[in-house]
């Protein structure tokens, strides 16, 4: 396996710039997820890594090799597509072996590699079936098996689960996680699904309009998003972004925002002394994850309940604050519409953003 370095990569189609100086570096054995909505440039970036798209400017290195001008076959990569791309007239065994056969790998070695991949992916009993006899999840396993037997330096996955139903997606996420753990492989994985990103990745690059908005470990991206776009995109329900203000305070920083039932005051927000001093008395955007509200402890957010949504393991409560709709995720609780409550907030989990740039304040 190998590290991957993407340095100042740009891609344009005429005057339309799809990628705008992308910089990403991951180590040997990392699982990088390129996360973002349709049209953000993530699939274009994957195709550039694969050699399926020409690069306008910048460098792509796989291991220590500059691969800008290398064709896909010389990059030592294996790609798993959304569409499976299996040969319908071949058996599972023949599909997995086909690439090795083309490269002149001896039959005995092909058979051994195929059996090993099938055992790893729990499909040894399917080797003599045709793709038409398989479920979507089984077909995706075959596509993964075909990639595994190549022993590439880099695995590339292009939204491999998007054609599967919800349960199969969960099952296949587990399979891909297990595959990564067993192989120690370096993987680049494209998705618009932030649950896939959080569960699979060791590194996440959140993209928008051809720009990497935040690159980091999944928990860092979730807890300390670089800007309000990342805050809203990662997490379900999304982080609440509430217009408020930072108050002058001799002690721990305190933020305030209005509710229909009075002012909410949250003390003990994590902020550097310099930023606290510079923004004292100024407007800020207050970011609070839904699960960081509770009905326990000292209630500092007085509100009236607008909507209650029981989900089984938890209850979503919707209310108004700062002129916007806010969602709290609580342990199962019975609340009535219009009921007056006071929520406590985990102050050390609150994230503040500059309302002009929408970037995080540290």
Domains of the chain: 4-233 (3.40.50.300), 240-361 (2.40.50.140)
Give the highest mean pLDDT range of 80-89, 267-276, 333-342. Answer: 333-342
DSSP letters for 125-189: GGTTS-GGGS-HHHHHHHHHHHHHTT--SEEEEESTTTTS-HHHHHHHHHHHHHHHHHHT--EEE
Contact partners, residue 36, CB within 8 Å, separation at least 6: 42, 192, 206, 207, 208, 233
Report DSSP state, residue 8: E
pLDDT score for 250? 65
Separation CA 30–CA 50 (nearest Å) = 17
Separation CA 224–CA 211 (nearest Å) = 18
Quick check: 176 pLDDT over 70?
yes
Q: pLDDT tens, 293-317?
A: 999 888 999 999 999 999 999 999 9
Quick check: 179 pLDDT over 90?
no
pLDDT score for 165? 82
Quick check: 175 pLDDT over 80?
yes
Range from 137-151, 254-268, 317-331 carrying the lowest mean pLDDT = 137-151
pLDDT score for 141? 86
Tracing tokens 């599972």 back to the chain, one arrives at 92
Phi/psi class of residue 63: alpha, beta or left (left: φ > 0; alpha: ψ in -120 to 50)?
left
CA distances from 302 to 143, 299, 305 (A): 54, 7, 10
pLDDT score for 252? 81
Contact partners, residue 213, CB within 8 Å, separation at least 6: 206, 207, 226, 227, 229, 230
Peptide bond into 237 cis (omega under 30): yes
pLDDT score for 304? 96
Which strands, in side-by-side order, build the sheet including 77-80?
A: 77-80, 154-158, 187-191, 31-35, 203-208, 211-216
Q: pLDDT tens, 38-52?
A: 999 999 999 999 999
Q: pLDDT tens, 112-124?
A: 999 998 988 888 9
What is the arithmetic mean of pLDDT over 236-247?
Answer: 96
Quick check: 164 pLDDT over 90?
no
The better pLDDT of the pair 81, 72 is held by 72
Separation CA 312–CA 316 (nearest Å) = 10
What is the arithmetic mean of pLDDT over 222-239?
Answer: 96
What is the arithmetic mean of pLDDT over 227-239?
Answer: 96
pLDDT score for 314? 96
Model confidence at 218, pLDDT cuts 50, 70, 90, reads very high
Structure tokens at 252: 């721990």
Separation CA 53–CA 43 (nearest Å) = 10
As separate numbers, helices (DSSP H) first and strands (DSSP E) second, the chain gives: 9, 22
Range from 65-69, 76-80, 202-206, 251-255 carrying the lowest mean pLDDT = 251-255
Predicted TM-score (pTM) of the model is: 0.91
Q: Considering only CA atoms, which of 289, 286, 194 is closest in space to residue 237?
A: 289
pLDDT score for 249? 62
The mean pLDDT of the chain is 93
């Amino acid at each position: 396996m190998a590290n991957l370095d993407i340095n100042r990569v740009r891609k344009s189609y005429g005057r339309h710039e799809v990628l705008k100086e992308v910089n990403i570096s991951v180590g040997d054995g990392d699982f990088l997820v390129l996360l973002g909505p349709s049209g953000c440039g993530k699939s274009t970036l994957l195709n550039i890594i694969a050699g399926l798209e020409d690069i306008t400017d910048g460098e792509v290195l796989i291991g220590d090799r500059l691969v800008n001008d290398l064709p896909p076959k010389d990059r030592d990569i294996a790609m798993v597509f959304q569409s499976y791309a299996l040969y319908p007239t071949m058996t599972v065994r023949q599909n997995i072996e086909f690439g090795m056969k083309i490269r002149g790998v001896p039959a005995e070695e092909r058979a051994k590699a195929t059996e090993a991949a099938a055992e790893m992916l729990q499909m040894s009993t399917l080797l003599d079936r045709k793709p038409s006899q398989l479920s979507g999840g089984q077909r995706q396993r075959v596509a993964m098996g075909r990639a595994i037997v190549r022993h590439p330096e880099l695995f590339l996955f292009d939204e491999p689960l998007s054609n599967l139903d919800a349960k199969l997606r969960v099952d296949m996420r587990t399979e891909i996680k297990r595959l990564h753990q067993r192989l120690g492989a370096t993987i680049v994985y494209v998705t618009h699904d932030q649950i896939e990103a959080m569960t699979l990745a060791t590194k996440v690059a959140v993209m928008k309009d051809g720009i990497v908005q935040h690159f980091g470990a999944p928990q860092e991206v979730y807890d300390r998003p670089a800007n309000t776009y990342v805050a809203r995109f990662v997490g379900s329900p999304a982080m609440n972004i509430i217009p408020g203000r930072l108050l002058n305070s001799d002690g721990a920083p305190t933020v305030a925002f209005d509710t229909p039932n009075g002012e909410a005051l949250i003390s003990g927000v994590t902020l550097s002394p310099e930023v606290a001093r510079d923004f004292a008395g100024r407007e800020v955007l207050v970011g609070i994850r839904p699960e960081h509200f509770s009905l326990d402890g000292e209630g500092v957010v007085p509100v009236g309940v607008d909507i209650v949504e029981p989900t089984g393991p938890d209850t979503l409560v919707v209310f108004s604050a700062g002129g916007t709709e806010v969602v709290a995720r609580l342990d199962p609780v019975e609340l009535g519409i219009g009921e007056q409550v006071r929520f406590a907030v985990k102050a050390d989990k609150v994230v503040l953003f500059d309302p002009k740039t929408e970037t995080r304040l540290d």
